[in-house]
Amino acid sequence: MVPSGDEAQNIIVQFENGGVTRLVKNLQVSGQLRNRTWLKATLDKAGTWKVKIVHDTGSSAVSLGSRDITVE
């Protein structure tokens, strides 16, 4: 949730494979009660990937969560 009237929030999506960040995507979420967005990423290596979601506040970065996925 982003409070109405606040500035857009910066969200960073990191894709890691083998402990190395291979792809980074940036999103902006505008102020509203609920917000939905889609992101397309091509993962070019088979194996286990970790996808991390981070809120970039400008002065710090706050982890919002992560998920492991398997690419075959």
pLDDT digits (tens, 9 = 90+) for 3-38: 566 677 899 999 999 999 999 999 988 766 666 778
Domain parsing of the chain, residue ranges: 9-71
- pLDDT averaged over the chain? 87
CA Rg value for the chain: 14
CATH architecture type of domain 9-71: Sandwich (2.60)
| pLDDT value for 28 | 86
Return the percentage of the chain with pLDDT > 70, whole number.
85
Tokens of 15: 């894709």
The dihedrals phi and psi of 34, each to the nearest 5 degrees, come to -130, 145
Of residues 54 and 58, which shows the higher confidence score? Answer: 54
Backbone torsion region of residue 57, taken as left when φ is above 0, otherwise alpha when ψ lies between -120 and 50, otherwise beta:
alpha
